[in-house]
Amino acid sequence: MTSARDTLTLYPITWPRRPDGLLVDDLGVWHRWRATRADAYSVFAFNVRLQTHPPPLPEDTPTARAFIDALARRADVVAFHRGDAVDLIEINTTPGPNALGQLLLYRSLWTRIYTEAVASLRLIAATIDPELTLALADAGIAVDLV
């Protein structure tokens, strides 16, 4: 296991550009959230690959590597608090139930890859189905509507 702070590319909380991997449709949600909540964090990492075992492929070719990258699990944002705590963040303007599964998978993989404390989970959205909100709360996932 390694330290995420030592291995990930970290950006200041004021970094204004579109994070790698973030859908254009979700960019407004990210900027609205960042404008009001970023001060709780010290730095961000974007489009963070969380994969313990790449899919088996018969050969190492550029096509095979592109296939592995396309299937990789990637957290939209890893937000580092000023201490050791981290939040794994999924950004989706109108999330569905898959957002719940993604975040739970990301936390499971995070604990197997990085030495930092167990990550908290956060979903940032513009709108959300009330029943999904219940399931997210049951799973201990914070929801920020912006």
16 versus 56: the higher-pLDDT residue is: 16
- Given a cut of 80, whether residue 93 has pLDDT beyond it is yes
Q: Is 56 helix (H, G, I), strand (E, B) or coil?
A: coil
- Given a cut of 80, whether residue 96 has pLDDT beyond it is yes
- Given a cut of 90, whether residue 139 has pLDDT beyond it is yes
State the Cα–Cα distance between residues 130 and 138, nearest whole angstrom.
13
Which pLDDT value is given to residue 136?
Answer: 98
Distant-in-sequence, close-in-space partners of 111: CB < 8 Å, separation ≥ 6: 118, 119
- The mean pLDDT value for 110-114 works out to 92
Phi first, then psi: give them for residue 47, nearest 5 degrees: 55, 50
The answer to whether the Cα torsion of 130, 110, 90, 40 is positive or negative is: positive
The answer to whether the Cα torsion of 113, 11, 80, 28 is positive or negative is: negative
When pLDDT is cut at 50, 70 and 90, the band that residue 108 belongs to is: very high
pLDDT digits (tens, 9 = 90+) for 36-90: 999 999 999 999 989 887 666 666 677 766 666 666 689 999 999 987 799 999 9
Q: Where are the domains of the chain?
A: 20-139
User: Domain 20-139 carries which CATH code?
Assistant: 3.40.1350
